[in-house]
Amino acid sequence: MRHLIDPLDLSVQEIDKLLDLADDIAGNPKRYSQVCSGKKLATLFYEPSTRTRLSFESAMLNMGGSVLGFSSANSSSAAKGESVADTIRAVSCYADICAIRHPKEGAPLRASQYSKIPVINAGDGGHQHPTQTLTDLMTIRVKKHRLDHLTIGLCGDLKFGRTVHSLITALSRYEGVRFVLISPEELRVPDYIIDNVLKAKNIPFEEVENIEDVISQLDILYMTRVQKERFFNEEDYIRLKDSYILTMDKMQNAKPDMAVLHPLPRVNEIALEVDDDPRAAYFDQVQNGVYVRMALMMTLLEVEHA
Ligand code: NCD
């Protein structure tokens, strides 16, 4: 049985195959409308979510399956003190696959150790978010027709932003990738990613504070929200929350074919005026998120292709 806990749980070949499947689903959705009929997805969300939970549910419904679950810790037995290990043992009796989001780093991994069904990490604390990464990879491939030989700028909260950690980890396996890490000093990429991924694999990267200095080099600009819920004090959050705001003025200096990505939700990081620029790809990501989650659940459930 396979789980998806960390972006490296899928090989580069498996990701290629999965993205090919997602492309085919996007082009021929009707062909997949019953491939999961009789299958049940459980969504166990101990933290707020709009896109991730609803796109998992929409993905399963698109394939003729059904969904059950909870959308906050308060409405589950976690509020009574139940452990993740016990919860997953119960959920294994109710569903065929599950997606779990939890504020504690490592909770989905722990769940997978007690589970009888495939477990998908839908975000664990400030750690990883591998299905957002599949969404990001699909969007990059659609926009740039490749995942290698790209200069990728990541901007904002690179410390607590789990989507950033997963995307760097996944992209580190492609040739010719270079990262420009744009953040305030306090929100730099954690050392474990710098040391175990970037330095360990000799991947070129630079860390800068000013987006204007580097925007012209970028093929992809990945904007992120400052992760309010992971701050220890409100003062720091208020000081850092508006560190970067992408405006049309700044976009003037970017390449005409740069793509702007954002996992969403957006707070202030991207001015609304940028939404109408053809380089804005963040709403495409939302749609692609459904296709990759369909492809992922088909793969983990070993459902025959249509
Ligand atoms: C992200 C998350 O939950 O990590 N959202 C998402 O899943 N698309 C990003 C965020 O909350 O800022």
Average pLDDT over residues 58-78: 95
> Any idea which architecture 130-285 has in CATH?
3-Layer(aba) Sandwich (3.40)
pLDDT above 90 for 42 = yes
d(CA 24, CA 105): 34
Q: Which atom of ligand 1 is nearest to the CA of 51?
A: 8
Mean pLDDT of the chain: 97
Q: Which pTM was predicted?
A: 0.97
Q: Which two tokens stand for residue 213?
A: 């200095």
pLDDT classification of 212: cutoffs 50, 70, 90: very high
Percent share of the chain, pLDDT over 70: 100
Q: The tokens 């599950």 sit on which residue? A: 98
pLDDT for res 144: 98
- Say if ligand 1 is within 6 A of residue 123 CB: yes
Q: Which atom of ligand 1 is nearest to the CA of 225?
A: 12
pLDDT for res 305: 73
Let me know: does 72 contact 45? Beta carbons within 8 Å: yes
Average pLDDT over residues 63-82: 93
Distance 129 CA to ligand 1 centre (A): 8
One CATH from 3.40.50.1370, 1.20.1090.10, 3.40.50.150, 2.40.30.60 for 7-128+289-300: 3.40.50.1370
Q: How many residues make up the chain in this entry? A: 306
Burial profile 268-278: b = 16 or more Cβ within 10 angstroms, e = fewer: ebbeeebeeee
Average pLDDT over residues 128-141: 98
- The closest alpha carbon to 133, from 96, 105, 171, belongs to 171
Percent share of the chain, pLDDT over 90: 96
pLDDT classification of 306: cutoffs 50, 70, 90: low
- Say if ligand 1 is within 6 A of residue 225 CB: yes
3 catalytic, yes or no? no
Q: Where are the alpha helices (DSSP H) in 149-251?
A: 162-171, 191-193, 234-240, 248-251
Q: Which atom of ligand 1 is nearest to the CA of 289?
A: 8
pLDDT above 90 for 277 = yes
- Say if ligand 1 is within 6 A of residue 264 CB: yes
Average pLDDT over residues 118-144: 98
pLDDT for res 304: 80
Tell me how far apart the 2 most distant CA atoms of the chain are, in Å: 55
Q: Mapping DSSP to helix (H, G, I), strand (E, B) and coil, where does residue 220 land?
A: strand
Average pLDDT over residues 140-151: 98
pLDDT for res 271: 98
| pLDDT, tens digit (0-9, with 9 covering 90-100), for 162-176 | 999 999 999 999 999
- Say if ligand 1 is within 6 A of residue 144 CB: no
Q: Do domains 7-128+289-300 and 130-285 have the same CATH topology?
A: yes
Q: Mapping DSSP to helix (H, G, I), strand (E, B) and coil, where does residue 171 land?
A: helix
d(CA 14, CA 56): 20
51 catalytic, yes or no? yes
| DSSP-assigned letters across all residues of 117-131 | S-EEEEEETTTB-HH
pLDDT for res 40: 98
pLDDT for res 75: 87
| DSSP-assigned letters across all residues of 24-67 | HHHH-GGGGTTTTTT-EEEEEESS--SHHHHHHHHHHHHTT-EE
Q: Domain boundaries in the chain?
A: 7-128+289-300, 130-285
239 catalytic, yes or no? no
